[in-house]
């Protein structure tokens, strides 16, 4: 009697974890359903039991990447409103760390965010921290969105620079000004530039909060 091998079965989590490994090892461009199926020793069609298409798989990876933020950056259950600016900064830095933890992390999250499939967790965490400043809903959403755009853009640039450096690619301007190129490529310089940008945005929010507070006080005194 002929023997038939039972096809390997995987959980949704197995598929996502393997996809993350492929992403980290080879990059987003090389994360194909065929490569993923081969790594799991299944036919590509088997993957669609877990994910409707590649876009939904990438959205799952986006949520997992964003979810792996530093525990130290998590806001407490009852954060003090006076600490809102510090918490906003911490959330922005935690998101950067989470994106940098995976190759092409910023591209993964940015692409799913553009399609409305992912990055919801990141935006909600930023919104929650900004809301502690007492802003109205519209301002809170706009501020959180601006912060998210800055983080994604900055980290995307960082990761592109890392890849270019890994391949030994030097921009024409870098050949003319090697010291400047070396400075911008250093991890410490990148982190400092990121912190500066976050501080600019948060300082603007602090100014807006102070202005709103003064206006409220003036109206109450009339």
Is-same-fold flag (12-51; 72-221)?
Answer: no
Confidence of residue 172 (pLDDT cuts 50, 70, 90): low
User: Phi and psi of 124, rounded to 5°?
Assistant: -65, -35
* Annotated domain spans of the chain: 12-51, 72-221
Compute the mean pLDDT over every residue in the chain, rounded to the nearest whole number: 83
Confidence of residue 118 (pLDDT cuts 50, 70, 90): low
Fold for domain 72-221? Tetracycline Repressor; domain 2 (1.10.357)
pLDDT at 182 over 70: no
CATH class name, domain 12-51:
mainly alpha
Q: Are 33 and 54 in contact (CB under 8 A)?
A: yes
Residues in the chain: 222
List, in sequence order, the alpha helices (H) in 27-136: 33-40, 44-47, 54-67, 84-100, 105-114, 120-131
pLDDT at 7: 47
| Short-list 117, 72, 75, 76, CA closest to 98 | 72
């Amino acid at each position: 009697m002929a023997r038939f091998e039972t096809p390997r079965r995987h959980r949704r989590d197995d598929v996502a974890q393997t996809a993350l490994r492929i992403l980290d090892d080879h990059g987003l461009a090389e994360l194909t359903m065929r490569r993923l199926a081969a790594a799991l020793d299944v036919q590509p069609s088997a993957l669609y039991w877990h994910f409707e298409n590649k876009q939904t798989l990438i959205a799952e990876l986006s949520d997992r990447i964003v979810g792996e933020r530093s525990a130290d950056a998590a806001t407490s259950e009852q954060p003090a409103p006076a600490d809102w600016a510090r918490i906003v900064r911490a959330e922005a830095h935690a998101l950067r760390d989470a994106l940098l933890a995976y190759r092409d992390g910023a591209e993964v999250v940015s692409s799913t965010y553009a399609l409305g499939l992912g990055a919801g967790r990141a935006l909600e965490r930023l919104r929650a921290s900004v809301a502690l400043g007492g802003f109205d809903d519209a301002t809170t959403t706009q501020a959180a969105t601006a912060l998210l755009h800055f983080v994604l853009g900055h980290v995307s640039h960082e990761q592109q620079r890392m890849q270019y450096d890994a391949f030994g690619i030097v921009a024409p301007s870098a050949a003319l000004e090697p010291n400047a190129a070396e400075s911008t490529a250093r991890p410490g310089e990148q982190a400092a530039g990121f912190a500066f940008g976050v501080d600019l945005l948060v300082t603007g929010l602090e100014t807006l909060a102070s202005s709103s507070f003064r206006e409220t006080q003036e109206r109450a005194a009339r």
